[in-house]
Structure 1
Amino acid sequence: MVETDRGSLPFALIHGEALVACAAWALGEAGVTPIDLATSWEAVVQSGEPFVLHDPLCPMTPAGFIAACVEAAVAREAVVVGVRPVTDTVKTVEDGLVGRTLDRDDLLAVTSPIVLPPAVVAALDDQPAGDFATLTTALAARFPVTTLQAPPEGRRVADLDDVRLLEGLTAARR
């Protein structure tokens, strides 16, 4: 579970539970073995297991989707990244002026999880963390990366308004 640089939002409530708790439960239901904060990266590498990074800001990501990402990472021997389609209008800025509109079909929003297959885990010097979009870019520079489209409930939240929206989206599925 990646909580670094996420402020207090992971501890906001959705359906009466902290986002971080919901995300942790999904990992458990997906069959992902949690590691203790004191576990060394060397021990993770020696386990020979894939490594799952899950963002508590994607608290309602279904366990079945997380498990499918782990399965794909192992089968493809590639980093697997959960993504969602971009629905906002995105413009370029050129010389301080608003430029052309980018085609949304060419864009993806990184969500969760990011799954590293064992070979990638072994090639890294330390446990990766941080912003998932930046991490995905860094991993793609070194390793094969594939994306899987997360279901709508796997969306990322950025503030309490997003949490309320996600809560409404997932209310009927509880």
Structure 2
Amino acid sequence: MTTYDDEPTPALGAVIEQERGSLPFALLHGEALVTCAAWALGESGVTPVDLGTEWAGLVDAGEPFVLHDSLCPMTPGWFITACLERAVATSAVIVGVRPVTDTVKGVVDGVVGETVDRDGLLTICSPVVLPAGVVEALDELPGLDFTELVAALAARFPVEYVEAPAQARRVGSLDDLAVLAALTRPS
């Protein structure tokens, strides 16, 4: 929540590029994905910290912790801020998601089966916001893969999923990056 003097909600955050291969260093509009993600985190008013920061230091800060995936480089700062404010207001872990738009088929014994209903499916993107109480309850992050991280957090804490704007989509390949570049091409 924004304070009465329009100061941003105090929070710490990190851009996650570890365990993502070389893709975070691919260029989008002339900048590395990790750089674009860092700019978005900065625009949100979150104070960046190195992921190597001791967890006890994050606990001592008593602030929410925002994780922004470098593979979601164009997530707008305003969306990160909105997720942060929601985490503070609800004390729930807030996760940015996108609806699944591809056709998904089940596979049984190596045979392609029926189409899965997409209505119940989501793609995790950015950010993942841990309220201060969740930061305090953890000894460390349960992982850096956002799907596994959210599953581990959901097993212990309330989690809310918030639909992210289209430009917040996750890239997993250079082909995905070309789509994101077209979607976010500057005017």
TM (norm. structure 1) is 0.95
1:11 aligned to 2:25?
yes
1:94 aligned to 2:111?
no
1:36 aligned to 2:57?
no
1:46 aligned to 2:60?
yes
| 1:141-174 deviation line (CA, Å, top 9, x unaligned) | 110000110000000001111111111100146x
Partner of 2:87: 73
Q: Within 2, Cα distance between the matches of 1:127 and 1:41? A: 8
TM (norm. structure 2) is 0.89
| 1:65-85 deviation line (CA, Å, top 9, x unaligned) | 000000001101000000000
Please say if residues 66 and 113 of structure 1, whose CA atoms lie closer than 8 Å, have aligned partners that are also in contact: yes
| 1:40-76 deviation line (CA, Å, top 9, x unaligned) | 1100011010001110000000000000000001101
1:144 aligned to 2:130?
no
Please say if residues 4 and 129 of structure 1, whose CA atoms lie closer than 8 Å, have aligned partners that are also in contact: no
Unaligned stretches of 5+ in structure 1?
A: none
- Offset of residue 131 of structure 1: 1.2
Deviates further, 96-105 or 132-141: 96-105
Number of residue pairs matched by the alignment: 173
Please say if residues 50 and 74 of structure 1, whose CA atoms lie closer than 8 Å, have aligned partners that are also in contact: yes
Q: Secondary structure at the match of 2:16?
A: coil
Q: Within 2, Cα distance between the matches of 1:2 and 1:100? A: 36
1:21 pairs with one of 17, 35, 50? 35
- The structure that is strand-richer by fraction is 2
